[in-house]
Amino acid sequence: MNKRSISEELREIVIGSLLFLGLENVKNIPFSLDQPDDVSYGEFATNVALVVSKILKLSPRECAEKLVSYINNNKGEIISNLEIAGAGFINFFVTDKAKGIAIESVATQETKLDFLSGQTVLCEYTDPNPFKLFHIGHTVSNTVGESLSRIYEMAGAKVVRVCYQGDLGMHVATTMWGVEKMEDEIPKESATLREKVSFLGKAYAYGMKTLADKPKIKEEIQSINKHLFEGKEHEMYEKGKKWSLDYFKTVYEKLGTAFDYFIMESEVSEKGKKIVMENTPKVFEQSDGAYVYKGEKVGLHTRVFINGEGFPTYEAKELGNCERKKELVKNHDISVVVTAHEVDEYFKVVISALKEIDEDYANKLVHISHGMLRLPEGKMSSRTGNIIPAEDLIDEVKERIKDRLEKSDVVDKEKLANDIAVGAIKFSILRQAIGRDIIFDIDKSISFEGDSGPYLQYTHARIVQLLKKAEEENIKSKYINGLTEKSLERKLLIFRDVLEKTYQDMGPQHVVNYLLSLAHEFNSMYARQVIVDKNDPNSSHYVLLAQAVGSILKQGLNTLGIVAPEKM
């Protein structure tokens, strides 16, 4: 496993040159080391001379000359040449030997980081509520959470995946009220899971509409809510809960997620209530029969943790959820919670209260919020019944993909179509910063030629087939000095750097953008150069480049939670 990138080696050399010039605290000097846009300017360039020129009281050009003089005498086997450009930028040209070692390494070894080696990260995400359909908003949470989980794993951590689900509360009681009123429409046991859960969603929507028209109905729903909180037997509740959870499992399988633990609100409700009661009046205070946290003291707002009827709210149950996670995964180092940004303010209050109860655990808690997925029609709403199930979206994309797979000789076209459809959706979600809303365009998402998930998957499948052909023709991959694929080779040198930035920013979009540029470079070479040719002595070099690109595509797509097919 490769531990250091060429850029890290160059950074160390630059730091050494700063020490030579008598500077102190050089590791804190914020100089950049990036790849210049123009290939003729070398593999890397730094602005270090511009940054330190004021400290040294020299012009940037004079400073660059002193740094280059030192580096030329200490460049080892990694730097073939240096040039000063413009006002004082220093361009680095990497030796063929160093490039060859780096490219052969990335082609044959998995690239992993060690930032979190030995640590355990608990990642909670998706969190669909039973008695409702798994909608496209949950797809965003699942996609973001799964990718973040894999980024933490790539950084060396052991990741435990958790799903927290609301099986108690007014939404459940509203559904049960609707079920009672729609008794004649309750699906038979022979109905599909989708039909059963769709009925629950319909019952919830009916309950919400009736509640809006007839506020007095609220008393009936509150009575059902109390009944469920007290744990009294309710046949339809148990049946509906099982329908929902069994249905969710089928969706997780399509999305490629496997959770280690499922936590239900019903199992943390009393824990949360107990925590609030034990920390009153130290953290919470009574107000009109309820227990509240006064967030104004820390610049937030007041939220109710136990309502006037004595029931714990979402906030109190969240405290119980934290306690349950501590029990399930003892001594974990980081606790990540992924939600939509609509609950940001609520979560700030919960974390503030938690800091006063258990500061150590609160400091481990990382809340990452994502934007909403929208279709051109606008934002969905489960309250009005205008909800877009995740399966509908996956199936719609999958049907369009199937048309393109008619001539494919892949045996399991159904699985391949699902993998491509899910990849298209995940790519669209992850291609921009996590906090931004997403407008999902189906036509753009399934393009095999444009900037899409299927484009990356197709490029990977193409490379796998090329490598199989190279193996059949007994062509071994090998770096050959002096060939002119500099643009592609430069991209291959920075994969580790991209992974580091992805981890530091918790930004999967960095992987997306890098994979796209890498695939464009490879396909450009593929269009003008025969990769596998047993009569061409340089074919070994092109096969190596293909192998490196294929390896990176597979690792990068895996980090995004996207399957890398071997055939399309």
E strand or H helix at 283? none
44 phi and psi angles, rounded to 5 deg: -145, 160
Q: How far apart are CA 445 and CA 70, in angstroms?
A: 50
- 320, 341, 374 - which closes a domain: 374
Let me know: does 400 contact 442? Beta carbons within 8 Å: yes
pLDDT band per the 50, 70, 90 thresholds, residue 375: confident
- 406-441 tens-digit pLDDT: 888 888 999 999 999 999 999 999 999 999 999 888
Same domain, yes or no: 198 and 332: yes
pLDDT at 343: 93
Same domain, yes or no: 513 and 538: yes
Q: Is the pLDDT of residue 253 over 80?
A: yes
Residue 520 domain-assigned? yes
Q: Is the pLDDT of residue 382 over 50?
A: no
pLDDT at 282: 97
Percent of the chain with pLDDT over 70: 98
Let me know: does 140 contact 438? Beta carbons within 8 Å: yes
What pairing do the DSSP bridges indicate for beta strands 290-293 and 285-287?
antiparallel
Let me know: does 211 contact 174? Beta carbons within 8 Å: yes
pLDDT band per the 50, 70, 90 thresholds, residue 153: very high
pLDDT at 233: 86
pLDDT band per the 50, 70, 90 thresholds, residue 377: low
What is the distance, to the nearest Å, from the Cα of residue 61 to the centroid of all Cα atoms in its chain? 43
**Alpha helix segments (H runs only) across 21-74:** 48-56, 60-72
Which region holds residue 163: left if phi is over 0, alpha if psi is between -120 and 50, else beta? beta
Domain of residue 536: give its range.
390-559
Record the tokens describing residue 157, joined without a space: 């951590």
Record the tokens describing residue 488, joined without a space: 């592609």
| Residue 28: how many other CB atoms lie within 10 Å | 6
- 374, 400, 421 - which closes a domain: 374
CA-nearest of 320, 213, 336, 194 to 266 is: 320
Residue 117 domain-assigned? no
- 332-349 tens-digit pLDDT: 999 999 999 999 999 999
Residue 548 domain-assigned? yes
Provide the domain count of the chain: 3
pLDDT at 385: 47
What pairing do the DSSP bridges indicate for beta strands 290-293 and 303-306?
antiparallel
End-to-end Cα distance, the chain: 30
Same domain, yes or no: 443 and 510: yes
Same domain, yes or no: 133 and 222: yes
Same domain, yes or no: 86 and 132: no
| Residue 101: how many other CB atoms lie within 10 Å | 16
| CATH code for the domain in which residue 267 is found | 3.40.50.620
| Residue 331: how many other CB atoms lie within 10 Å | 6
**Residue 68 neighbours by CB under 8 Å, 6+ apart:** 82, 84, 90
pLDDT band per the 50, 70, 90 thresholds, residue 232: confident
Let me know: does 14 contact 34? Beta carbons within 8 Å: no
Same domain, yes or no: 175 and 285: yes
Residue 332 domain-assigned? yes
Same domain, yes or no: 303 and 401: no
Residue 139 domain-assigned? yes
Say if residue 436 is exposed, middle or buried (CB neighbours under 10 Å; 0-12, 13-18, 19+).
Answer: exposed
Residue 177 domain-assigned? yes
CA-nearest of 107, 90, 74, 2 to 41 is: 90
Let me know: does 142 contact 255? Beta carbons within 8 Å: yes
Same domain, yes or no: 318 and 443: no
Same domain, yes or no: 358 and 458: no
Q: How far apart are CA 120 and CA 291, in angstroms?
A: 34
pLDDT at 75: 84
Cα-trace Rg, the chain: 28
Percent of the chain with pLDDT over 90: 84
Residue 212 domain-assigned? yes
The amino acid at 176: M
**Residue 154 neighbours by CB under 8 Å, 6+ apart:** 112, 113, 499, 502, 503, 559
Same domain, yes or no: 470 and 403: yes
- 188-219 tens-digit pLDDT: 999 999 899 999 989 998 999 999 889 889 99
The dihedral built from the CA positions of residue 347, 353, 358 and 362, taken in this order, carries a sign that is positive
Q: What is the pTM of this model?
A: 0.93
In sequence order, the β-bridge partners of residue 262 are 163
Q: How far is CA 462 from CA 138, 221, 471, 487, in A?
A: 32, 57, 14, 20
Q: Is the pLDDT of residue 1 over 50?
A: no
pLDDT at 2: 53
| CATH code for the domain in which residue 553 is found | 1.10.730.10
Q: What is the secondary structure of 216-281 as a DSSP string?
A: THHHHHHHHHHHHHTT---HHHHHHHHHHHHHHHHHHHHHT---SEEEEHHHHHHHHHHHHHHTTT
CA-nearest of 350, 356, 316 to 335 is: 350
Residue 380 domain-assigned? no
Same domain, yes or no: 215 and 344: yes
Same domain, yes or no: 144 and 64: no
pLDDT at 403: 84
Q: How far is CA 233 from CA 60, 201, 266, 317, in A?
A: 78, 22, 14, 21
- 495-533 tens-digit pLDDT: 999 999 999 999 999 999 999 999 999 999 999 999 999
pLDDT at 384: 40
